[in-house]
Structures are given as C-alpha cells and as structure tokens.
Structure 1
Amino acid sequence: MAISQNLQDKLALLPDQPGCYIMKDEKGEILYVGKAKVLKNRVRSYFHGVHNEKTTRLVSHIRDFEFIVTDSEKESLLLEINLIKKHHPPYNIMLMDDKSYPYIVMTHDDYFAVRLSRRVTSKKDTYFGPYPSSGAANEIVKLINTLWPIRKCRTIPKQVCLYYHMHQCLGPCIHEVDKEQMATYRKEISAFLKGDADAILKQLQEKMMKASENLQFEKAQEYRDMIVSIHHVMEKQIIDFKDRKDRDVFGWYEDKGYISLQGFFIRDGKLLGRNFTVMPIYEETMDAFVSFILQYYQNNVIPKEILVPEGTPTDILEDTLGVHVYIPQRGDKKTLVDLVCKNAKTAHEQKFELVFRKQHELDQANEQLASIFHAPIHTVELFDNSHLSGTFNVSGLVVFVDGKPDKNQYRHYHLDTYRSDLDSMKEVVYRRYVRLLKEHKPMPDLLLVDGGAQQIEAAKEIRDMLDLDLRIAGLVKDDKHNTRALMNDQLEEIPLKKESSLFFLLTRMQDEVHRFAISYHRKLRNQAMTKSILDTVEGIGPARKKALMKTFKSMKRMREASVEELSQVVPKGVAQSLYDRLHEV
C-alpha cells in the first residue's frame, strides 16, 4: 500500500511515549482505536511489514490518524476503553454490543423489592449476579415475586394494586407491615439467591401435599410447577468452591485471525454461568484479551478475585481494576482456568466456520457492490414509506456499514399529509440530506430506494436540487414482489443471481427497512387508538390515562380486565364506563 505524504509526515512526528491512536477512513469516520506503550513503534507497524488478511483490510481503509499521549500505560488502557465505548469503531472488539449482564437487585428499603437490573446504581442495594442468561435471571425474579409477598411496584402507591388482592403483596401502601417479618423475607430470599433452596422447597412440598389432600388439584399443580422451576434454576453446579468467594475467570483461544473470549462467573462459590464471543482480531492477542476484560468491568461489578491464564499482564489489570488478578499454578483454580481456555477453544471450533462463512459471504457481497458502482461502497442508506389509506404516513431509514446494520443511525420520519408515494419519497430524501448538509456530516456511498425508475427519478430530483454527490439505485421487484434486479441512476438494470451473496445482502437490507418502517407505523396507530378510546370516557384525564397504561401496559390487557380490576386504578363509576366503552360491539 502506498502511503500518502500526509501520513508519512504524521508518522515522522509520533512520540516515544504511551498513548492511544485513532485510525480514520477517507470520510473522517473512526475505524479503530488502539493503545501503545510506545506510540511511534506501534502506529508505524501498521504501514510497514506483512500483515494477515484482516489487518491488511483495515490498513487499506486508513487515510488519517490521530494520537493522544498519556502519562502511563494504565491511562492509555482506560482512555482506549472510553473511546471504544463512545465511538463504537467497527474494527474493535466490542463486548456484547456494549451491553451489561443482568443482575438481580434487592432494594435496601424496609419494604424492599426484587427486580432485574443491568446497572449497579446504588451502593445501598444488594446485587446478585451477573447472570449471562437474561431468561434464567428473569425466571428467578418471577419465582421470588410469586413465592414471597414482597412489594412489586417501584414506588409505593396511594392504594393497593392487583398483587394485594392476589395475596402476593402485604400492601405496605395501606398497612403497617411488620419490619421483622420483612427482615425474615430478606434473609430467606438472600439465601435462596445464594443457592440455598432447601427450606422453600420443603415448604412448597408441604403446601402441595395439603392442597392435594383437600382435593385442590389445580393449586397442587401450581405448587408442583414452582418446585420444578426451582430445581431448574437452582440446579447443582459442577464447580462448587468451599471458600464461597466471588470470582471471575477469563480465558481465550486464537486461530486463523479470529479470537474466542470466554468468561466464567462464580458467585458464593458456585458457577452462575458463562459467556463467550468469537470475533475477528486486528491487534495483538493479549491486547484484545485485556481490552475484553476491561470493557466487561465498565458495566459490571468487580469481584474480589479474577483468575486469568499464563502470560496475562496481571500488574496492569490489578493497577487498573484495583483487585487481585491471579494466575494460578496448581490446584482447583488452575484446573478452572484450563477449563475456561478449553471452553474457549471448543467454542472457537464450533463457531469459527459459521462466523467465517458469514464474514466471507459479506465480503463477497460488498466486493460485488463495489464492482457494480466502480467505487468502494461502505455506507448504504435505505428508506421505506408506510401509510394506511393515506393516514399515519411515515418513513423509516436504516443504515448499513460494510454490510452490517448500524442501528445508532436508524431514523423515523413522521411525514406530511399523504399525496403520493413519490411525494413521500421526495420529502424524506429532502429532510434527511438537508439535515446532513446543515450538520456537515458525510453523505452515504449509496442511497437505495425500494422501487424502480419512478422512485429513482424522485430521489434524483432532490439530489440535483441540493447539488449532492450521491449515488442512487433502486431495488426492482418481479410480479411476485420479490427483488430481481438493481437499477442504477441511469435506469439500467443489473440482474441479480438469487444464489449470489449480494442478492442475500440486499434482501436482508430490504426486509430490515420494511420491518423498521412498519413497526413505527403500528406504534403510531396504537397510540392513536389508545388516545381515541380513553379520551371518550368521562372522568379519564391525562393522569388517569397514564396510570391505566402503566398498570395494564396495552389496550388488549385493559380490555381483558374486569370492572373490579379497572377500579383499582380509577373510581368505580369511571371503571364501569371504561369497561362498557372497551366492550362496545
């Protein structure tokens, strides 16, 4: 690759200090963020020597870079993580799409609640987890809220709710609840979340037998289902450390330009679960591994001990995280680290072929797209309009970068009064690109419209009016409304082979923009329906409307509610009027 004079000049100015570097493409978009002990050596290495295929692809896109000098390697590590979190560079390893794992939180107040949380927001509350499976965590919370009559609401209301009438809440909103009883519940739930389910299982077993003896078979079945659920979520773990310490264990395996990163989460001595990711790697293996660990702890509680495999720079991790990071040499902990690394290798072998195949197909599709338009196509934007007999006229915009959806750039548009599909196309194209011009943001490499010549001409009219440098193409359909060809802005058709990678990519894009536009259209219709019904009932104003929707969540559930259930939210007379209105034929 020929290095531009600008890059050569900037490379000559790199310092012999630690820091972060930021690689950018021709549009100034951030491609990759890295850290270095010596900026001069690390950044220059990208432009000299031989690299693997993936790093070569990254370097081919680099047109500029910036660097930030730091006082220490620790500072460069933290800065790198913050920059990755802020900019989401496409070539950096991102943990779980920057999402944290769910915790189960027990609030600190006397009339406490138990719920899921993805963030640790209060030092006073007690957090259990993390749980790599949201489904399992949610099942546990549901069990707890069924088994113990604790508060379900986030703030104590002025009147009792349905849970009180179902005997699943003691009603601290209207009753003085025994604080000692609540302390007992807290102790029992805490023990339950730490894996001690014997007491509650025995209690449920007794209730099931008693219900059966009283011929209450449906009630007995409910207790039996609870027992089965508890066994399912509290099943014995293979790993059970006697010291009951909280610890996380991390490992990795790298091969063929991809890295598999694995984590085991042990709480109170028991393995709660694990999670792994397989991703392409563009940096040193150990740099990627350390970055993975630090990203994880940006959103999650740091345990008292972290176990890692041989070769991990524990000093920098300990300095950054403030806890003991340990490389075990023998015993159960060494066996556990070996098990994590073995799992990483197994996961890599299982996932690699699928991940590699998908990436290969995506690369092929992007190459075909570039070949058609004789230029690199990195960013593609698509619009889809939706309306109902001219009402609720909306449009959805989706953005794909190198063949992958970039949901941070998705946009909804509520359009003016419907006149025609072409007018809707013109309006949304005008609004989108006038906004980009005003904000001095780069144009996409390609605008795809969902249609043939007429839609393309409508988009071209706005392009020419705004004097934009913008490629436009259309997705041409057959008589069965399936995509059969691309049409360029010269109205020339480019046939698509149905077995080609590009055909599948364009189909995915088309499905995604349609889904996005339709979901917004339905949302507006549902909001309008809610407004039209509730606004016709005397006695329901903004506050009661909000309370009803908060309680019942949807019009369907509100329609299924009885007058008595509705009267828990609004006065009985209003509840009867609402019930009658909801059930009008």
Structure 2
Amino acid sequence: MAASPDLQAQINHLPHRPGVYKYFDDEGIIYVGKAIDLRKRVSSYFNKNDHNKKTQQLVRNIKRLEFTIVDSESDAFLLENNLIKQHQPKYNILLKDGKTYPYLCLTSERFPRLLPTRNKVADGSRYYGPYATGTAMNVLLELIRALYPLRTCTYNLAPANVAAGKFKVCLEYHIGNCKGPCVNLEDEATYNGYITQIKQILNGDLRIPKQYFREQMGRAAQEMQYELAHQFKVKLDKLDAFQAKSTIVSDTLTNIDVFAIASNEKAAFISYMKVMNGSIILTQTLEVTKKLDEPDAEILGPLVMQLRQDFESEAREVLSNVALELPLPGVALAVPQIGDKRKLLELGLKNVLYLRKEKESMNERGKDLNEVRIMETIKKDLRLKDLPKHIECFDNSNFQGDNPVAAMVCFRNAKPSKRDYRHYHIKTVVGPDDFQSMYEVVHRRYRRLSEEGASLPQLVIVDGGKGQLSMAVKALKDLNLWGQIPVIGIAKRLEEIYVPNDPLPIYIDKRSESLRLFQRMRDEVHRFGITFHRSLRDAGTLKTELTDVKGLGPVTAEKLLNKFKSVKKIRELSEAELVAEVGKAKTKVLQAYFDQQEAEPAE
C-alpha cells in the first residue's frame, strides 16, 4: 500500500540510523516500533504487499509519523518499551509496568527489619524481588519470621536510646517472636548473624541456613537440651519443606532466565522462570493479545527485556524456545536442544502450553454455557418440553410471481449449521401464494426427514404471521407429525411471535435472547433465500436476452452465461476472445447484436 505524497516525502528523509518511530492517525499515536535502520523499517510497511490484514489496517490508518534517533539497538528497545507503556497504542502489545510487583525490604537501620513493600526508596535498604505475586512473597516472609526472631517495631534502636531505657518489650517478645533488642536482651552480633542467613535464603541458597540449624540441633542434643533441640529440628523441617516445594534444577545451573512462548491466532502465552543457585525462585506466566499477527520471536523479544528489567535479573544466560536477537551485552542467548538446559526449557514449555490449552478450553466452555443459556431461555419463553438444540426456520421468496423459491436455515446449539441449509424450488404452487408455498416446503422437508429416519427439530419457525403458521401446522398434521414438533411464526411488522391455536401473539421481552435468536434466524433465512432467488432471476434474464439473438442457440447462450456470468462481461470481450469461445460465425452474430443495442436510443 503506497504512502501519501507527504508521508512518502517524510519517509525518504528518514536516516539510516537506529531509533524509534511513532505512527499517528487523526486522534493520536496508534503504533510504536523500533528499528536498527529507521528508513528501511518504516519503508517496509508501505513497499511490501504481503502484509496480513491487521497490518494492512494499521497502514491504512497512518496519517503521519515521528521518529527519535538513539545510539544503539539497546536504547531503542528501552525507549520503545517506555513509549508503549506511556501511550498504550492500539496496535501494540501492551506491556505491564513492573512497579506494581511486591518486594521484601531489608532495612538499613540497626537491628534491621524485613518488610513487604511495593515501593523502592533510595534509603540504603536492601530490596529483594520483585516477586510475581504477593502470595509468593508472603510465603517466604512467613518462613523467615518462623525461623528467626526479627523485630517488627519501628523504634530507633540507637545504642544511646537503648542504654537510656527509652523502650519496653512488647507482645512479640512475650510470645517468643522477638528477643528484645530494644531493652538490650539480644546483642547486635547475634542478630546480624540471623540477617546474614536471611540474605542467603532470599538469594535462593538454603545450604548455610540448613547447616546452621542442623549444628544447633546436634549441639543442643549433646547438652541434653532436648526441648531446644526439638525447636531447631522444627525449623530445619520448615526449611526442608520449603525446599521440597521449590523446583531443584541442577547444582551445575546457577543463574539463568528461561523463557517459553506458545501462541494461537489471537494471543501469545509466555512463561518466565528465574533460576538462582540451582533452584527456580520465581515463575511468571502471562498472556498478551496479538495486535498485528506478530511472530513469536517478535513478541518474545521485548518481553524478555521487560521481564528482566521488572524482576531485576542479572542472569548472564537466557534460554528460550525461539531464536532471539537482543541487545544484551555479555548475556548468552540460546535455544538448547539437549541436556539439563533443554529439560529446564521443556518445563517452561509445559507451563505455557498448559496455560494456552486452559485458556482455549475456558473460551470454549464459555461459549457452550452461553449457548445453553440461550436454549434454556427459549425453552422457558415458549414453554417447550425439550431443550431446542435443533431449530429450523423457513421463508418464501418470489419476484412478481416469477421464480418462486423457499429457503430453510438450521441452527444447532444456537449456532448456524450451514451444511444443513436448504433451498427449494416451489413446484406445486402457481403464482405468488405464500401460504401454499409454506405448506409445500414444510411438507416436503419433514416428509423427507421422516422417510430417511432422520432426527426432527425441537422447534420450527416460519417467517410470517398467523396465515403462514396455520399452513405449516396443516403440513405437519398431514404428515402425522403434529404434536411432535413445536412450531411458531414470527411476524415482520411488530416482531410478534404467534403460536398455533392462539389468535393473539405471545409476549416475549424485546431484550430477550430468545427473540434475538429468532430475529437472527429470520434475517439469515431471508438472506439465504433472497440470494438464491436473485441468482435464478439473473440467470433467467440473461438466458432470455441471449437466446433472443437470432443465430445463437440456447446451448451457446448457456455456455457463455456459465463462464462469464453476465451480458456486460460478454460484451467487453475482444473479437479474438469471442472467436476462441464460439467461433467466427457466432462472433459476427453477437457483435452485430451488440452494435445494434448500442445504436438504439434508450427509452
């Protein structure tokens, strides 16, 4: 698709430099992209003809563009990411801002505290995380508080304040959760020993804390302090239980980021696993809606950059199931095929494939539930005995009595079943008689189903009022099917629903899903019938016009009609093309006829 002259002039002056480009429509930014070469990348939108429909739609909406030159591809990635989050363009995959993730904060004060937070402050405190969910963070926080007697108060435990006796112990001391550093009952060196072990746990390394509790348990047992030994054993068991819930990858795999992606037509599903010290310490799965049918590598690349930034990863190795080219200096990118790294990647793939399958299954279940609800509503509104899983709707069509036809559409489980649609030529009725035509098609339809032993619908709808309905009822009675198939009529003027043996229409709420489905079926059968009737009418008109040409027989006329569909297209054929179709003699006849038609004045 060619760019407008003004836009093309702007594209021609783009630099061959890395940068970020922004596309605008009349209302604002609609797309942000990055490029190693701005001119080549932007030009590709307008020079290529193989774009998918969504990209074609984007290109049609571009009114102007802006660009920003940057020093490197890495800078382009970061700027693109920030602009997408800032402007939320309609054609971009929208990335979540990492500032909402929770952290654990180890304060920088004397006798540090461990606190949950979502805001990082430059006060010298140490922040761990971020964690994918608050639940994951709280599990770790509760474990640490169960293992170590950390204070939770906000006192300023400066040596002078403690020595002056400014504080009193609180309930946490009395229930054993704190050792009372506020009243100098716990020395700072012992407390800082706890903090050292806590840092190791927060970094995913449980070896030294486990060794510490194991040694303390053994020492207490030797000194016959069995109650104390039991307390250390309980804490050691808590660490073992926590480690058992963590996936141990391999002692040889240290700090690695693992990404896996799987997609369908509408969305992409991404799995991220953060591995530290041989254990998976963080997992995150997410779904992003596709905007331009982007390939997996194009979707995953920015997300790798984003998630590493959000979760403050310093891993020097990134594994993924699609090949990536990212501006990450000093970071190895790989698609492993064998070994422990491949097993790790397959674990991520299992998670993402499960997420995709579950999402697709939920969508299908949602559709099924919606369809069941509609059928239940119809059953209730019409007081039917059975759930109307199979509904058929009839309509007649004719033009001034010519080519009378009828149509039937079939819905199964509240959805069109187009393979069951049927067209009918009216055979026994002369002239435009909707009532008798309705009788004929209903009778023919259910006589055939009965003869074939096929299942009958749970509801029949006829397009029309009491007259058409009564003829449909008569047809069913003549087939001894009356009472087996419920039938209703829908009148066009007021969207009224008629049932047999009741002169007044029944009331159905205008907002009811029942009425909406009936209207949809009525409109569908009308469209289906009109299309059929129009094709017959046009064919009949063309055939009559051509067969009136002297010297041109009906076989030749039908041959031309079937191939070229209209007299206009036949008239536009060159002499050579006509000769190839019908020979020289008939070509002269046709050309003479067309010349005569053009010479005659219009009436």
Q: Please report the TM-score for the alignment, with normalisation by the length of structure 1.
A: 0.50
- Partner-residue secondary structure (3-state), 2:115: strand
After TM superposition, list the pairs within 5 Å mapping 1:5-20 onto structure 2.
6-20=6-20
Counterpart of 1:336, as a letter, is L
CA contact (8 A) 1:33 1:80 kept: yes
CA distance in 1, matches of 2:14, 2:287: 33
Structure 2 gap segments, 5+ residues each:
158-165, 221-225, 368-508, 517-603
CA contact (8 A) 2:85 2:96 kept: no
Counterpart of 2:347, as a letter, is L
- Partner-residue secondary structure (3-state), 1:308: strand
Residues 1:159 and 1:105: Cα distance change in structure 2 (over 3 Å): same
CA contact (8 A) 1:85 1:98 kept: no
* Aligned residue among 318, 323, 333 for 1:307: 318
Match of 1:248 in 2: 257
CA distance in 2, matches of 1:151, 1:6: 67
Q: Please identify the structure whose Cα radius of gyration is greater.
A: 2
Match of 1:560 in 2: none
**Does 1:144 find its partner at 2:144?**
yes
CA distance in 2, matches of 1:249, 1:71: 28
* Aligned residue among 271, 276, 286 for 1:267: 276
* Aligned residue among 337, 343, 348 for 2:345: 337
Deviation, 1:35, is: 0.4
After TM superposition, list the pairs within 5 Å mapping 1:467-506 onto structure 2.
none
Deviation, 1:228, is: 8.6
* Aligned residue among 235, 248, 255 for 1:239: 248
**Does 1:84 find its partner at 2:94?**
no
**Does 1:42 find its partner at 2:53?**
no
Deviations 1:192-245 (A, max 9, x none): 4433575698789999xxxxx99xxxxx9x999989976664324443321462
Deviation, 1:32, is: 2.2
CA contact (8 A) 1:103 1:117 kept: yes
- Partner-residue secondary structure (3-state), 1:265: strand
Match of 1:93 in 2: 93
Residues 1:55 and 1:239: Cα distance change in structure 2 (over 3 Å): farther
* Aligned residue among 284, 290, 305 for 1:294: 305
- Partner-residue secondary structure (3-state), 1:138: helix
Counterpart of 1:80, as a letter, is E
After TM superposition, list the pairs within 5 Å mapping 1:63-462 onto structure 2.
63-99=63-99, 101-118=101-118, 125-153=125-153, 156=156, 159-160=167-168, 161-175=170-184, 177-193=186-202, 194-196=205-207, 198=210, 233-243=242-252, 245-281=254-290, 282=292, 283-309=294-320, 312-314=323-325, 316-319=326-329, 322-328=330-336, 330-352=338-360, 354=362
Deviation, 1:20, is: 0.7
CA distance in 1, matches of 2:296, 2:147: 47
Counterpart of 2:298, as a letter, is D
Residues 1:337 and 1:257: Cα distance change in structure 2 (over 3 Å): same
CA contact (8 A) 1:145 1:152 kept: no
CA distance in 2, matches of 1:327, 1:100: 31
Residues 1:63 and 1:245: Cα distance change in structure 2 (over 3 Å): same
Deviations 1:304-334 (A, max 9, x none): 32222366345x4322xx5444554542123
**Does 1:27 find its partner at 2:35?**
no
Give the number of equivalent residue pairs: 359
Residues 1:148 and 1:98: Cα distance change in structure 2 (over 3 Å): closer
Residues 1:127 and 1:331: Cα distance change in structure 2 (over 3 Å): farther
CA contact (8 A) 2:93 2:288 kept: yes
CA distance in 2, matches of 1:280, 1:97: 16
Counterpart of 2:256, as a letter, is R
- Partner-residue secondary structure (3-state), 1:317: coil
CA distance in 2, matches of 1:92, 1:155: 49
Counterpart of 1:245, as a letter, is T
Counterpart of 1:335, as a letter, is K
CA distance in 2, matches of 1:231, 1:95: 37
- Provide the alpha-carbon RMSD of the alignment: 4.7
Residues 1:170 and 1:68: Cα distance change in structure 2 (over 3 Å): same
Residues 1:109 and 1:143: Cα distance change in structure 2 (over 3 Å): same
Deviation, 1:11, is: 3.4
CA distance in 2, matches of 1:38, 1:285: 22
CA distance in 1, matches of 2:43, 2:363: 30
Deviation, 1:155, is: 6.0
Residues 1:85 and 1:43: Cα distance change in structure 2 (over 3 Å): same
CA distance in 1, matches of 2:51, 2:234: 57
- Partner-residue secondary structure (3-state), 2:305: helix
Structure 1 gap segments, 5+ residues each:
208-212, 215-219, 360-493, 502-585
Deviation, 1:21, is: 1.0
Q: Please report the TM-score for the alignment, with normalisation by the length of structure 2.
A: 0.49
Higher relative CO (CA 8 A, sep ≥ 6), structure 1 or 2?
A: 1
CA distance in 1, matches of 2:69, 2:364: 36
Deviation, 1:341, is: 3.5
- Partner-residue secondary structure (3-state), 1:46: helix
Deviation, 1:291, is: 0.6
CA distance in 1, matches of 2:241, 2:65: 52
Deviation, 1:127, is: 4.8
After TM superposition, list the pairs within 5 Å mapping 1:56-67 onto structure 2.
56-59=56-59, 61-67=61-67
Deviation, 1:76, is: 1.6
Deviation, 1:97, is: 4.6
Deviation, 1:271, is: 1.1
Deviation, 1:45, is: 3.3
